[in-house]
Structure 1
Amino acid sequence: MLLDAFGCRWRLDVSGLGPDLGPRVEELWSRAAVADESEDGEDGCAAPVFVVTRGSHPGLVVIDGDEQDATDDEVPYAVSRALTFASIVRRTGECLMLHAAGVAAADGSTVALVAASGTGKTTAASRLGRRLGYVTDETVAVEDDLRVRAYPKPLSVVVDPTDPHGKSEHSPDELGLLTAPADLRLVATVVLERTDEVDAPVLEPFALVDAATLVLPQTSALPSLERPLDRLAEVLVAGHGPWRLRYREIEDCATIVAELAAGRTPGGLPEKVEWQWLAGSADPATAAARQQPPPVPPPPGVFVPDLVVEIDTVVVRAPYDDALVSDGAVLVLQDALPTTLPGLAARAWLAATEPTSVARLVEDAEDGLGSHPEAERLVLGAVRSLVEGGLLRAR
């Protein structure tokens, strides 16, 4: 069968699983099947064959060339996991991939519901997909124009709460989920937060850097994109976000999510969030060198990360991969690792584009934030933390 996984076409061959299990796997993936043999996938590649067959001994299965332990009950989930991973690899560097459930209104307006593994994506998709079209319970792939690529895979339901990796597969049709339209576009991204502290669901906007910090671990291969944090910001601010949905039971959120898909929110839409994207200064050779200790003590005037920082110390930004600035806070990617800088740390990092003394950074802080009797101590502490964290270099 020919199927599409968020822009990747595959020719799924499960004939080697036998007359019972093979048709069952095809049934599970029927919502993702495509009939048009003439077009390649979004990645421009003709559909490779994804073969699933019995292994060399009973209890073994070979999935796309990888032999692994799996009972017949475990094979469908193993296929879903492997096919998802293989599709992520193929689309790396091409689109932004969120670990999220996706549901869509009849006009294609799609809401991505972001959550960590095991914290509610599949439950959200299975409940909300009875009112809105089911897009996916696993990976929401967003193109650079905010088009969404559907991935209506079988839903992976945890069988035993004590074993989060033990899951059974159910097709969207078996669960009564609505079919999403063919043309999808992202209109909102929502961070899910299940909590017993609220009686009724609460949809609330929150700061872009805070949202990006939470969502970044729930992406796949984000640093491989051009402008990674800028792309993430565009996705998060869609529909006047970022949004956080705090809830006790996801069933109670159906109306809120449907309204959000329609461009309406309780209390009206907040002002659109502004941000600044800073292109990284690091290159592969610099990044590799930054991870190695200097072979000899550096000569005077050379920037080093472990110098004791005092008020007359000169500092400058260390090479970084990417940065996002919004509302006085900064999110920095360095060696693909994120660091969030609030307040004084953000201001000092932003001001140190060129070699600058700590004393001058104190003046800059007071110029922007007002005088403070502890300004020198506070700025010095922030700069020391930045130097220790490798975000600033001192000489």
Structure 2
Amino acid sequence: MTAPLHLSLFGVPAAVRWVNGVGAAEAAALAEAWSRCLADGRNDDDGLAGQGRAAQEDRPPCSVGDEPDGSEPSRVRAVLAVGRAAPFPVEAETPGEFASDLTSFLTVAAIEERAGELMMLHAAGLADPATGRTAALVARSGMGKTTATRTLATRFGYVSDETVAIERSGRILPYPKPLSVIDAPPPAPKVQRGPDELGLAPAPAEVTLGAVVLLERQPGLGAAAIEPVPHAEALVDLVPQTSALARIERPLAWLCRILDGCGGAVRVRYTEAHQLEDVLPALLARAPLAPTWRSVHDGGPVPSGAPLAPGHVRRQEPLDAVEIPGAEQDVPEVLVLCGSTLVRLGGIAPAVWAALEGTPGTAGISRTELAGRLERTVGLPDGYGPLLDAALSELASRGLVDLGG
């Protein structure tokens, strides 16, 4: 029987037991493709082995058991065990389809295992070989992360082309998976090419986040164009590209601290991947920013069971909320995370939101009291009623306040 494949995926142990359709040669090829994620010490020399082991002390090595084979003889099949989850089967029609599906299943399962513990950006990670400071190239699919990795990871250390997993300390747990390369047009599956096969440089033993790069590929550019991105705009772009964000404690505050530590996010527009090579060192050398944002999340236990009084209003308790200076310094923006949806408040809405602090879970306050709070903090113009009603209706439509009848 072909020996199982044992892996470590940003601190998550995983095991793959071959059941059907994978012989010794195919298993060896997959092991080679996953060589930098092997958990058996084969990659000790490249500085990557063991980086996730301190994080998995309470995660014993996975066992896939001896589940009976009920697959069709013509299909490729294996059983996966990732972290603490129950083993589950993966099968496909061909070895190529199986290799592609295996990468997806392992990535999703590892993300699920570390949900709530790590900030996991959908990004490529490239590390300065001398310092370990790593650029996270954040982008939706199709923006060229894998192509950029293939091009740049001969000079920079290969951390990941899929998930940059960050601890609260700023340390990154590498995920040097095989690269999913398009060798033929769809519906052919992407081919899994290992970083050793592609000649990618190993990452240093310790890697930390040094730059957040919002990658945007555009045709016709003669050189990469760099644009600093304010925190509010950066959060709008980062939230959809962050895995399991809603399961993290105070995720917006954490993202703001990440941006401060990197000197703020930058947007880099480019046409060809080689154009990025000369801009990354300067981005990795930027100094941290002094925080200008503040948390406006109530925090603490929320009273329960208090019915909303008629005609009163109260704030819903979000997952997190931060206040960030706007283009006009005296008019801040408030960004609120409700579930996995980020709401960006402008106009009078941030002041209304702030005035409702302390009301989640209570019977609420009257609109008269709310107006008094606003008058004391920001002032109110004559005839403010319709303006306040419109702001409350907008907040209610986004699930941010409750309005009593």
TM-score (norm 2): 0.80
For residue 259 of structure 2, the aligned residue among 236, 251, 270 is 236
Q: Deviations over 1:160-179 (max 9, x none)?
A: 5555x831111112222111
The equivalences for 1:137-286 within 5 A come to 137-160=161-184, 163=187, 166-196=189-219, 198-261=221-284, 263-264=285-286, 271-279=289-297
Q: Distance in 1 between matches of 2:10 and 2:268?
A: 25
Counterpart amino acid of 1:76? A
Say whether the 8 Å CA contact 2:18–2:79 is kept in structure 1.
no
Q: 1:302 aligned to 2:309?
A: yes
Give the corresponding residue for 1:308: none
CA distance 1:331–1:43, shift in 2 (3 Å): farther
CA distance 1:332–1:124, shift in 2 (3 Å): same
What displacement does 1:282 show? 9.2
Counterpart amino acid of 1:386? L
Give the corresponding residue for 1:323: 321
Give the corresponding residue for 1:393: 402
Counterpart amino acid of 2:160? T
Q: Deviations over 1:56-75 (max 9, x none)?
A: 33134234232433311112
SS at 2:56 equivalent? coil
Say whether the 8 Å CA contact 2:127–2:135 is kept in structure 1.
yes
Q: Distance in 2 between matches of 1:32 and 1:4?
A: 5
What displacement does 1:198 show? 4.5
Give the corresponding residue for 2:38: 33
Which runs of 5 or more structure 1 residues have no equivalent in the other structure? 291-297, 304-312
SS at 1:166 equivalent? coil
Q: Deviations over 1:28-87 (max 9, x none)?
A: 011222445997451321221469999433134234232433311112111111111221
Give the corresponding residue for 1:119: 143
Q: Distance in 1 between matches of 2:98 and 2:36?
A: 18
- How many residue pairs align between the two structures? 369
What displacement does 1:112 show? 0.8
Say whether the 8 Å CA contact 2:125–2:134 is kept in structure 1.
yes
SS at 1:343 equivalent? coil
Give the corresponding residue for 1:74: 97
Identity %: 33
SS at 1:178 equivalent? coil
Give the corresponding residue for 1:58: 74
Counterpart amino acid of 2:26? L
Q: Distance in 1 between matches of 2:70 and 2:224?
A: 47
RMSD over aligned CA atoms reads 3.3
Give the corresponding residue for 2:84: none
Counterpart amino acid of 2:78? V
Give the corresponding residue for 1:346: 350
Q: Deviations over 1:331-384 (max 9, x none)?
A: 212244322212322221122224455567667767777876885544432221
Counterpart amino acid of 1:338? L
CA distance 1:228–1:159, shift in 2 (3 Å): same
Which runs of 5 or more structure 2 residues have no equivalent in the other structure? 43-48, 81-87, 326-331
Say whether the 8 Å CA contact 1:98–1:219 is kept in structure 2.
yes
Q: Distance in 2 between matches of 1:67 and 1:173?
A: 25
Q: Deviations over 1:248-280 (max 9, x none)?
A: 22220111112222x14xxxx685442222446
Counterpart amino acid of 2:199? G
SS at 2:124 equivalent? strand
